[in-house]
């Protein structure tokens, strides 16, 4: 996940290379986490546990 304020501060204080690295790593982690979460939910490994007791 990416914090816009942290990205702006990194760009201003350290430079564009570090800010770009932060942006790339944050996006990569968010995309992989979302993909894994959806993939696991499709197979019912998480959805059964989270859905128990709700409805």
8 is written with which tokens? 């702006």
Specify whether the CB–CB gap between 2 and 23 falls below 8 A: yes
Identify the domain containing residue 24 by its residue range: 4-43
**Inside any domain, residue 18:** yes
**Inside any domain, residue 54:** no
Model confidence pLDDT, tens digit, residues 11-37: 999 999 999 999 999 999 999 998 888
* pTM for this prediction: 0.67
Centroid of chain to Cα 53: 27
DSSP code at position 44: T
pLDDT over threshold 90, residue 2: no
12 is written with which tokens? 């201003």
Number of domains in the chain: 1
Return the percent helix, strand and coil in the chain, to nearest 5: 75, 0, 25
């Amino acid at each position: 996940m990416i914090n816009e304020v942290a990205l702006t501060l990194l760009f201003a204080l350290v430079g564009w290379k570090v800010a770009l690295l932060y942006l790339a790593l944050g996006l990569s982690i968010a995309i992989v986490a979302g993909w894994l979460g959806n993939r696991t939910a499709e197979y019912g490994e998480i959805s059964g546990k989270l859905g128990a007791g709700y409805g």
